[in-house]
Amino acid sequence: MSIPRLGDVRHNRTLQYNVRRKDHPLPLGSAKTDNGESMPPSEIRDSIKAQLLEKVRKHDFGRYLFKASIGRIRGFSGEDITFDFPVTALIGPNGSGKSAVLGAAGCAYKPIKPGTFFPKSTVGDESMSGWSVEYELVDKQINPRQLVKRNSSFRQAKWVRRDVADREVLFFGIERTVPAGEKTRYKALMRSTYIHRPPLEPLNADVATQVEHILGKSVQDYRITKYGLDDTFLVGRFGVNNYSEFHFGAGESSVIRMVSRIESAPENSLILIEEIENGLHPVATRRMVEYLIDVAERKSIQTVFTTHSDYALSPLPNEAIWASIDGKLRQGKLSVEALRAVSGRVDKKLAVFVEDEFAKCWVDTILREMLGADYDQIEVHAVHGDGNAVKTHRSHMQNPAINFRSLCVIDGDSAQQEDPDAGIIRLPGRQPELAVFDAIRGSLNENLAILTVSCQRAPEAQELVRRSIDDVSRTNRDPHLLFNQVGIKIGFVPEATVRGAFLVLWVRAHLVFCNELATKAKQLIAT
């Protein structure tokens, strides 16, 4: 079978995404948060994520929570969540129900009592009657071939669960980052009369290795000792000096304890974590999520966590992220910044919803070039998927409580219907990166000098730039990598720089479309 080349009509989106699943090098400049802050690239390869997604799809775990259908709990009614990846992130504004979904997941299993997450107060909880969740579980011991169905419901003032499945579940709540000196169980250690007899022992070697990778510091000289009946206490070391857990950072202590418990947990366990970033540096947060993906691969352990951090989302595939917004659950990778817009929390006058990060850059460039000072009144947000973009935009139009206007810009190959009167506008071309690349490549004779300098290369490098663009056009199989590949060939110029140079030239060559989009934006800003 011949391989379609750039511009071939057979070069369809199915091929692009199939190729994208392979282990391409990370595009230069792509490892950034939504506000542009640089961060190290993820160490989890795409192939590992693809294998884990496939393992879930085939139900190839000994025990696994595959789906929870919320009949009614708190603000949710008739909402489903599928755990398509063994590490699932729950995002949403404060009070949106992330913890409710986390608790609903835990209540699928015997070790988690429903009252832990959903206690009933004699004051204010009259509406709990009728709360229910149905589950679809993988449990090879109960049924080696089919999903197992179970349910939890609140009726007659108590939770009812019949034939509840058993599974090791570890829950790490917010209290894990409370400093040791504030925990009452350690008060005895502060008394001068206390005598401690158990020995100080080294951390488990595997635990120390994983902790070092997450925190970026050595813990080889740290010690742990038994305390009380079933508790432990940590002792650190800096140079030649020891120091107790009373003087640990909150994140340092919590990571050591979490990793220790996870490494000793049996295979196919379930981990629940509240606000995974709590007490951690952003890069350590990202590494903690990478560790959980590694644990999923090594030990078939499933994790569900809540977060407000983009860094926690960066290593995850789109299928692993669920947003809780106004009583609805939506799957797909939203940045925390985009989540603000989706949930109606924007200080600007206009939010523009697009499918992905490239469309965000494209529309941002158009509006920045065309609007001048009015550009400050706009935010552009990628919401993962053309369907999500249209749905979010339409819900904003129908919600009188939201005090800003919105637009939706869909890709040229989107299956969604454009409707300019309703604020749904289609970008030109079939595939976004390819459309921009081909347009500029077709006008290189006029624009080569400007493009070369805009790519931060000297004027005498024009022929290198031309040759590199031609080479990439012949060899590229995945348009998502076009600007990364050009950047490498012309001297390791960051992808963002090359992409920006192409986009600015595209805007200046397509003023009719850009003026129409800018005019629509201005009208909405003015209303």
For 183-192, how does the pLDDT look when each residue is reduced to its tens digit (9 = 90+)? 888 888 999 8
d(CA 13, CA 19): 10
**Residue 221 shares a structural domain with residue 157:** no
**Residue 93 shares a structural domain with residue 129:** yes
Domain boundary (290, 324, 358) is at 324
Residue 419 gets which letter from DSSP?
Answer: B
Sort strands 350-354 and 148-155 into parallel, antiparallel or unpaired: unpaired
**Residue 206 shares a structural domain with residue 132:** no
* pLDDT level of residue 349 (50, 70, 90 thresholds): confident
What's the confidence (pLDDT) of residue 22?
Answer: 32
CATH number at residue 106: 3.40.50.300
Residues 6+ positions from 143 with CB-CB distance below 8 Å: none
Q: Is residue 461 part of a domain?
A: no
Residues 6+ positions from 307 with CB-CB distance below 8 Å: 89, 90, 91, 275, 276, 277, 285, 313
Cα angle, residue 360 at apex, residues 497 and 12 outer, rounded to 5°: 90
Structure tokens at 398: 């129908």
pLDDT reading at 398 higher than 90: no
Digit-coded pLDDT (tens) for 64-122: 999 999 988 888 889 999 999 999 999 887 788 899 999 999 999 999 988 888 877 76
What's the confidence (pLDDT) of residue 240?
Answer: 82
Q: Is residue 457 part of a domain?
A: no
**Residue 71 shares a structural domain with residue 149:** yes
Instruction: Specify whether the CB–CB gap between 80 and 70 falls below 8 A.
Output: yes
Domain count within the chain: 2
Instruction: Please give the C-alpha separations between residue 463 and each of 272, 333, 334, 446, 457, in angstroms, as whole numbers.
Output: 56, 39, 40, 13, 11
Structure tokens at 360: 């965000």
Closest CA to 94 of 279, 277, 324: 324
Q: Is residue 33 part of a domain?
A: no
What mean pLDDT is predicted for residues 131-146? 94
pLDDT reading at 6 higher than 60: no
Of the CA atoms within 13 Å of residue 142, those in its CB half-sphere come to 17
d(CA 89, CA 340): 17
pLDDT reading at 498 higher than 90: yes
**Residue 189 shares a structural domain with residue 148:** no
- Please report, rounded to a whole number, the percentage of residues in the chain having pLDDT higher than 70: 87
Domain boundary (220, 248, 276) is at 248
**Residue 236 shares a structural domain with residue 301:** no
Domain boundary (277, 308, 324) is at 324
* pLDDT level of residue 384 (50, 70, 90 thresholds): confident
**Residue 185 shares a structural domain with residue 301:** no
Mean of the per-residue pLDDT values of the chain:
86
What's the confidence (pLDDT) of residue 149?
Answer: 94
pLDDT reading at 519 higher than 80: yes
Dihedral over Cα of 252, 254, 259, 260: its sign:
positive
Q: Is residue 483 part of a domain?
A: no
**Residue 161 shares a structural domain with residue 274:** yes
Digit-coded pLDDT (tens) for 448-496: 999 999 999 999 999 999 999 999 999 999 999 999 999 999 999 999 9
Range of the domain at 304: 46-173+267-324
Q: Is residue 276 part of a domain?
A: yes
d(CA 262, CA 207): 9
Residue 219 gets which letter from DSSP?
Answer: -
**Residue 73 shares a structural domain with residue 117:** yes
**Residue 67 shares a structural domain with residue 88:** yes
What's the confidence (pLDDT) of residue 343?
Answer: 55
**Residue 189 shares a structural domain with residue 223:** yes
* pLDDT level of residue 335 (50, 70, 90 thresholds): low
* pLDDT level of residue 12 (50, 70, 90 thresholds): very low
**Residue 145 shares a structural domain with residue 54:** yes
Q: Is residue 299 part of a domain?
A: yes
Digit-coded pLDDT (tens) for 226-282: 998 889 999 998 888 889 989 998 789 999 999 999 999 999 999 999 999 998 988
Q: Is residue 159 part of a domain?
A: yes
Instruction: Specify whether the CB–CB gap between 224 and 234 falls below 8 A.
Output: yes
Tallying the residues shown for the chain, one arrives at: 527
What mean pLDDT is predicted for residues 291-313? 94
Q: Is residue 411 part of a domain?
A: no
What mean pLDDT is predicted for residues 310-327? 88
